[in-house]
Structure 1
Amino acid sequence: MSASNTGIAALADMVAGARNMVVLTGAGISTESGIPDFRSPGGIWSKFTIIEHAEFMASQDARLEDWRRRFFMEDQLGKAAPNAGHEKITEWVKSGACSTLITQNIDGLHQQAGTPAEAIIEIHGNARHASCTKCGLRHEIAECREQLERTGKAPCCRQCGQIVKSDVVMFGEAMPVEETLAAFEAARSCDLFMAVGTSLAVHPAADLPAEAKQAGAGLVIINREETPLDRYADVVVHAGIGDVLGGL
């Protein structure tokens, strides 16, 4: 179903009838706030060497390259603001219509829009802060940048002196167990699962809609492009996220 009046009406009816909605968001909602899709041609992944987790932990040079990319990303994120899609999801969460927001995004725009942190599961982490890999102490990105610029070395923990890493899941790093389990539990317990702005090509997030559907939930997919799971959805809308959600 395309972004026709019929599709929007069916979407509105499903949202109105849901008792426990879960929303999954991907890069599509953030690109509408001006954040580039990092995987696309000309995106950040084509501008910098992608450092895997094992390299980061083993090499000072690898850590410096990764932090250079993180600071570039932080500058991009700092220019972005939540859009109508973020704001509608915040409205749903605060009203109780949406119990859980699962996001693949690392930009913090859902929190910036006012969605309570306790309602958000960030399965790929958050680029707006970092943590010590030894003691877990949180470090702000600005603090990490200041330390690198002052010393010429990758940031280390102000408490124990060990390696500090951005709170983003890196290539070669295990997915966060607690967040992943919580995401699947939320998918199994909802009566409406809405996938918004995600290609549904990156696992394990791509498995969540099927998990919800198999448990008996309705499935809505809103994305500009087709996804591998469109044929299983009750409603599919191919259109801009802000336009669709903002109009509900």
Structure 2
Amino acid sequence: MNAKRPLIAVLTGAGISTDSGIPDYRGPNGLWQRDPKAQELVTIGPYLADPDVRRRSWQLRKEVGAVGAEPNAGHLALVELERSGLPMRVLTQNVDGLHRRSGLPERKVLELHGTADRVQCVRCRLRTPMAEALARVDAGEPDPACLACGGVLKPCTVMFGEVLDERVLADAAAIAKACDLFLAVGTLLQVHPAAGLARVAVEHGARLIVVNADPTPYDDEAAEVIREPISQALPALVARITAGEFSAPA
């Protein structure tokens, strides 16, 4: 009798994208550790109230370079997992869009914190490509306003001080409850409510595997903790999964 195929949920954080040239934020060498004041650049109150914060925020977006980043071996490993035919969904805390650009079908990716590849006017809600806004910054506009109504532009991300979309969070919780195998990849599991999805999965009987360079609050509950670099560890883990090492409960 064939083993039952596991339903797989993969929660990804900033660590999966560092090999694509996008720095993490909360790790020991992350942006918030190097410059604690940088957090206000992605906090909704100061961002809306202070033009100088917005100008510095636009410069940060240019420097981070997420728009031009390319998927790495970690992202591509998840594409291979999806193409294996195993039922899987990616729940990502990242806003860089690299899971979609790697070739994963959009329906398989739930972007918990939104996406940085588009901007939205806070007044008229018009959405336009981030690349167009950054081109205006390059051309000399330090704080580009909405071309339709003159309102403030912000990335289509959930900033500090904003709440996650309730429908997105409900979908993520349903996936965590239903999965047999929950991979936490490149995340310190400290940003809630996304981090709490690991708890939901474990409480509903899923096997938890943590792939992260630094300790997380969930390591003691994990069936396995992998400290190797993600671009090496995730392809190897996916190979084990597709080989049938992790079957679902009968």
Please say whether Structure 1 and Structure 2 have the same fold, judged by a TM-score greater than 0.5: yes
Corresponding residue of 1:207: 196
Distance 1:161 1:126 in 2: 22
Distance 2:6 2:83 in 1: 14
Aligned length: 231
Q: 1:101 aligns with which of 78, 90, 97?
A: 90
**8 Å contact kept, 2:79–2:104:** yes
The runs of 5 or more residues in structure 1 that have no matched partner are 1-15
Residue 39 in structure 1 maps to residue 30 in structure 2: no
Residues 1-248 of structure 1: pairs in structure 2 closer than 5 A = 18-40=5-27, 43-45=30-32, 46=34, 49=38, 50-51=40-41, 52-74=43-65, 78=68, 80-148=69-137, 152=141, 154-247=143-236, 248=239
- Per the TM alignment, residue 63 of structure 1 is displaced from its structure 2 partner at its CA by 1.9
Distance 1:85 1:136 in 2: 34
**8 Å contact kept, 1:130–1:141:** yes
**8 Å contact kept, 1:60–1:153:** no
**8 Å contact kept, 1:221–1:236:** yes
Question: CA 1:140/1:229 → structure 2, altered by over 3 Å: closer, same or farther?
Answer: same
DSSP-derived class of the 1:32 partner = helix
Distance 1:222 1:98 in 2: 20
**8 Å contact kept, 2:124–2:149:** yes
Fraction of identical pairs, as percent:
40
The runs of 5 or more residues in structure 2 that have no matched partner are 240-250
Q: What CA deviation, in whole Å up to 9, does each residue of 1:168-227 have, x standing for no partner?
A: 222212222222222111101112111111111221121111101111222111222222
* Length-normalised TM-score, structure 1: 0.83
Distance 1:99 1:182 in 2: 14
**8 Å contact kept, 2:23–2:64:** no
Question: CA 1:165/1:220 → structure 2, altered by over 3 Å: closer, same or farther?
Answer: same
Question: CA 1:135/1:181 → structure 2, altered by over 3 Å: closer, same or farther?
Answer: farther
DSSP-derived class of the 1:210 partner = helix
Residue identity opposite 2:7 in structure 1: N
* Length-normalised TM-score, structure 2: 0.82
**8 Å contact kept, 2:112–2:164:** yes
Distance 1:196 1:68 in 2: 28
- Please say which of residues 59-68 and 221-230 is displaced more in the overlay: 59-68
Question: CA 1:142/1:34 → structure 2, altered by over 3 Å: closer, same or farther?
Answer: closer
**8 Å contact kept, 2:146–2:152:** yes
DSSP-derived class of the 1:205 partner = coil
- Per the TM alignment, residue 228 of structure 1 is displaced from its structure 2 partner at its CA by 1.2
Question: CA 1:157/1:71 → structure 2, altered by over 3 Å: closer, same or farther?
Answer: same
Residue identity opposite 1:24 in structure 2: L
